[in-house]
Amino acid sequence: MAGDARVIIEGLRSGVPYLDSAGEVVFGREGSISNMQRLMEAVEQGRPPRLPAYFFRANYGQGKTHLLYSLRGMARERNWVVSLLTLSKETPLDRLDYVYPKLVSETYIPGSRQPGCEKIVSQALGASFVLSEALEMELSPRVMAVLDNLTGQNVKVEDYSGLLADVSGSFLRLSELKNIHRQNFGKALKLGRSSLREEVIHYFKLMDWLIRRAGYQGWLILFDEVELVGKLGRGGRSRAYANIGRFLSGFLPRTITVWAVASNFESDVVVPRNDREDCPAWLARRPKEEAGVQWCGAAVDSLLEAVLLDPLPPQKMQSLIGQVLALHQNAYDWQCPFGAPDLYERVMALIRTWLTRDAPLRTWVRVTITVLDIWFQYGEEPTVKQIEDLLDADLAEDGPDSGEAAAGIEADEAGQVAILRQPLF
């Protein structure tokens, strides 16, 4: 138990989110968790919700990523497959053919610490598999060919591996797929050319179906740092909104998506750039893009209506600090000379000395751990040298990478503390 507690405390201190810490340290977000449970229950009962998604927003440091990890843990306990993806330059939301491979590589089945879809595919395509079931999904000819060959009687081991990689997002070239088909069935495969941008939607549909057929309740997809859509130009933002809206349309009947966005996204991106009007109009002027017009508008509206994660009230903050105190004592086998109420007052006094506005959740947690660290090591009060406030991300188009500015903590041998910039969770 002490080892588990130490892992949680070290995770909170270093800024690395852990599934264990999200389950053990609840940050007063019971309302969001209850809303997600209702959405998931509807899917489990075969009643897909009208809006199969949950949007929430918060200032930096208020626990967005921690909530995503809490939802991930809750979903796995309900026998859901979970994928958690942090958006970035390498996985921009306007290119789902880039998002899908990364998403599958971050997909976990309940009880497994290794990501991937191999077990999902093998369980779904067992002896009882009937290919006619897949025809009802109206998959593209390419994806149907991949599925057909995966279930072929004569498929070679190396070819099966290639097909599995294709389902995972390492897409086969058309010539490779045709060669596998000829070896498997002894006849040519006639397929027209298509782009991966067009095909990737059908790969999402296939994975959604495989997950339920493999015996899992559904697929939960968690998107973090959605505000990075603001780094894209107008065309990229338009396509990104359309892609978000496609997930809202219910084309994946066994899937729920969650979107975590920074609070400054509306004021720094949507409003000054007039995205609610200009982005649907941009798509409407392009015949190949006009199908995304309605999805684009629905996505922007949902982002604007995202649930706000408010700062925790004093009672819940004191409860949180009590959880951190109990974990810290368990982790390092010591007894703090004061209890949770006193610790809360000490931390609040330090924060109010250095910050002129309400401190984010992240700062409360880090200062709490630092106070406990100094008392554990030196048996005295820390001397605070500096606490720096958190800054919103720079969401200017095509700017340099702008990671979260966040509070970190150092302690020197004399027990003095400097709270610096460093990611937390």
Give yes or no: residues 338 and 414 share one domain: yes
Tokens of residue 193, six digits: 């050319």
Rounded CA gap, 234 and 243, in Å? 14
Give yes or no: residues 100 and 175 share one domain: no
Domain assignment of residue 18, yes or no: no
Instruction: Give the pairing of strands 53-58 and 307-308.
Output: parallel
- The predicted structure's pLDDT at residue 388: 61
Give yes or no: residues 245 and 334 share one domain: no
- The predicted structure's pLDDT at residue 405: 31
- The predicted structure's pLDDT at residue 153: 77
Domain end, chosen from 264, 291, 308, is at 308
Domain end, chosen from 288, 308, 328, is at 308
Rounded CA gap, 80 and 320, in Å? 28
Domain assignment of residue 24, yes or no: no
Give yes or no: residues 146 and 221 share one domain: no
Domain assignment of residue 22, yes or no: no
Domain assignment of residue 12, yes or no: no
Give yes or no: residues 140 and 278 share one domain: no
Domain assignment of residue 205, yes or no: no
Give yes or no: residues 103 and 237 share one domain: yes
- The predicted structure's pLDDT at residue 398: 64
* Total domains in the fold of the chain: 3
Give yes or no: residues 244 and 391 share one domain: no
Give yes or no: residues 91 and 222 share one domain: yes
Domain assignment of residue 388, yes or no: yes
Question: Cβ(55)–Cβ(259) under 8 Å?
Answer: yes
Give yes or no: residues 367 and 244 share one domain: no
Give yes or no: residues 226 and 105 share one domain: yes
- The predicted structure's pLDDT at residue 129: 64
CA distances (Å), origin 324, targets 73, 283, 317? 19, 49, 11
SS3 sequence, 323-364?
HHHHHHHHHHCCCCCCCHHHHHHHHHHHHHHHCCCCCCHHHH
Give yes or no: residues 101 and 124 share one domain: no
Domain end, chosen from 241, 275, 308, is at 308
- The predicted structure's pLDDT at residue 381: 86
Per-residue pLDDT of the chain (425 residues; tens, 9 = 90+): 567 888 888 888 876 666 655 555 656 678 889 999 999 999 999 998 999 999 999 887 778 888 998 899 899 999 999 999 999 999 999 999 999 999 999 999 998 989 999 999 999 988 666 677 788 889 999 999 999 999 887 889 999 999 999 999 999 999 999 999 999 999 999 998 899 999 999 999 999 999 999 999 999 999 999 999 999 999 999 999 999 999 999 999 999 999 999 999 999 999 999 999 999 999 999 999 999 999 999 999 999 999 998 778 888 899 989 999 999 999 999 999 999 999 999 999 988 887 766 777 888 888 999 999 999 999 998 877 766 655 566 667 764 333 333 333 333 333 333 333 333 22
Rounded CA gap, 380 and 391, in Å? 31
Helix pair angle (96-105, 196-213), 10° resolution: 30
Domain assignment of residue 53, yes or no: yes
Q: 131 lies in which domain range?
A: 120-198
Domain assignment of residue 23, yes or no: no
